[in-house]
Structure 1
Amino acid sequence: MLEIADLRAGYGGTEVLRGLSLSVGKGEVVAVLGSNGVGKTTLNKVLSGVQPARSGSVRFDGREILGATARDIVASGLIHVPEGRKIFPNLTILENLELGGYCRPKRVRAGNIEKVFSIFPRLKERTRQFAGTLSGGEQQMLAIGRGLMSEPKLLILDEPSLGLSPLLVEEMFSLIRRLSDDGLPIMLVEQNVMQSLELASRAYILENGSVALSGDAAELRDNPELKRAYLGL
């Protein structure tokens, strides 16, 4: 579904992505892991069409999208749920969801909203509530629901567990597993290393804008280099 080759990008004179290559196949959950400052956010911005790349290739669903507009990328089905939720706090839950489906025909929006509510019944109970009054976990549900309104062919989840309580983190990872079980490919960009590796089929570990480690998630969990870098063992 997604094939990134030798991607380079940065800001001014600073190169952040330094020849990064990775892929996500159909039906996969692929974890992209790394601490702050390794290039995860820049990668997501380039994939979403809001940050230009300097060189490389990004093919999505068989088509080169590097240089495409953000609108065209969303229309193609590559959907990014950003870090920090980025919901519209002064709009209701329903209005946020409707905005998520702006690039889809009006005739399908009602059905898509019902699909979101079937996944997040808590949101259906309070459709007229302002999004800014929701809890952190509920705002994350709304952010993912808004992404699902665009009918993704591949969903990028950027730090979905950030700022959530341990109980809500478990709930969020269970939700991601459910979406994957329904056949939706997911690129999971996280700092939560161990839980991400429990969920993903494959993983990439980023350092200094490039891939330091990659492979089967189960094998990476036991990799001594990963334990040294992230767990201090």
Structure 2
Amino acid sequence: MLEVRDLRAGYGGTEVLRGVSLDVKAGEVVAVLGSNGVGKTTLNKVLSGLVPATAGSIRFNGAALEHAAAPQIVSAGLIHVPEGRKIFPNLSVRENLELGAYCRPRRGRAEKIEQVYATFPKLKQRARQYAGTLSGGEQQMLAIGRGLMGEPKLLILDEPSLGLSPLMVEEMFALIARLAASGLAIMLVEQNVVQSLELAGRAYIMENGLITLSGLATELKSNAELKRAYLGL
């Protein structure tokens, strides 16, 4: 579904991505793991059309997207839920969800909102509440729900567990697992190595703008180098 080859990008004269290659197949969960500052968010922004690629290729369902604008990428079904949630705090929960469907036909929008409410019942309880008054976990649910309103074929989740309590982190990963079980392809970009490897089928490890390790999640969990670098074992 997603094929990234030798992707390079950066800001000004600083190169952040130094030749990243990865794949996400239909219906699978792929984790992209690494500590803060290794280029994960830059990768997501390039895939979403927010930062231009300086070299390399991005193909999504066979179409080249490395020079596509963000609205075109969203319309293709590649939806990015950004780090930090980026909800609209002065709009209601429902209004935030409606904005997630801006590139889709109005017909059926109410039905899609009800589907999001079925996935995240807490959002239905707070439908008229200003989004900025929600808890951190509820805001993350809203950000993911807004992404689902765009009818994703592939959902990129950027640090969905960041800043959440341990209990809320457990709940968030359970919710992501349910989305994956429905057949939605997910690229999970996280610092939380242990729980991400429990959920994903395959994983890529990023360091200094490069993929340094990749493979089946079950194999990476027992990788000695990974344990030393990220788990302190």
TM-score (ref. length: structure 1) = 0.99
Distance of 1:127 and 1:15 partners within structure 2: 42
Distance of 1:213 and 1:126 partners within structure 2: 42
1:32 match: 32
Secondary structure of 1:171's aligned partner: helix
Secondary structure of 1:103's aligned partner: coil
How many percent of aligned residue pairs carry the same amino acid? 76
1:62 match: 62
Gaps of 5+ in 1: none
Distance of 1:56 and 1:149 partners within structure 2: 30
Secondary structure of 1:75's aligned partner: helix
| 2:128 aligned partner, one-letter code | R
Which consecutive segments of 4 or more residues in structure 1 shift more than 6 A? none
1:105 match: 105
The CA deviation at 1:160 is 0.2
Matched, 1:114 2:103: no
The CA deviation at 1:62 is 1.1
| 1:99 aligned partner, one-letter code | L
1:53 match: 53
Distance of 1:199 and 1:179 partners within structure 2: 11
Secondary structure of 2:20's aligned partner: strand
Gaps of 5+ in 2: none
Secondary structure of 1:106's aligned partner: coil
Distance of 2:224 and 2:98 partners within structure 1: 46
Matched, 1:77 2:77: yes
The CA deviation at 1:219 is 0.5
| 1:62 aligned partner, one-letter code | G
TM-score (ref. length: structure 2) = 0.99
| 2:52 aligned partner, one-letter code | P
Distance of 2:96 and 2:11 partners within structure 1: 31
The CA deviation at 1:12 is 1.4
Matched, 1:13 2:9: no
Distance of 2:83 and 2:145 partners within structure 1: 14
Matched, 1:44 2:29: no
Secondary structure of 1:105's aligned partner: coil
Secondary structure of 1:107's aligned partner: coil
| 2:149 aligned partner, one-letter code | M
Distance of 1:174 and 1:198 partners within structure 2: 11
Root-mean-square deviation (CA, aligned residues, Å) is: 0.5
